[in-house]
A = this chain, B = another copy of it.
């Protein structure tokens, strides 16, 4: 019987920033991630390195050590992690009420009308699936 690998834990704030870079760039070295991150805020190279090493232990990223400069890749696709995070907040802060979470999101940042229309289409999609 195959053993199912356990889900990696919820990423911390710092870890999520690195994952975002990896999702945007694809598999990258520490140097590439550091360069991207350092553009937005001052960060030491070894800080990024250490964080990514820990993330590898936690299985938040995969590491390819075949090259001298190890190549890191996000362990889960962006959508999977986003679903986890949304579901987690949904339970912890909204008692499972998707309506509450959506109201909170829309109140926090007024979405432009174009996006609202997209969201409406998304919703119709879900209603169709669930009928």
Interface residues of A (CB under 8 A from B): 13, 16, 20, 79, 81-87, 89-90, 92-113, 115-120, 122-123, 126-127, 130-131
Contact = CB atoms under 8 A, between A and B. Distances in A.
A29 B123 CA distance: 42
Contacts of A89: 85-86, 89
Query: What is the copy number of this chain in the assembly?
Result: 2
Nearest to A84: B108
Contact of A100 (B16, B82, B90, B98): B82
B98 A122 contact: no
Given A113-B131, A116-B123, A98 B93 contact: no
Nearest to A119: B99
B127 A98 contact: no
Nearest to A93: B85
Contact of A98 (B84, B92, B109, B130): B109
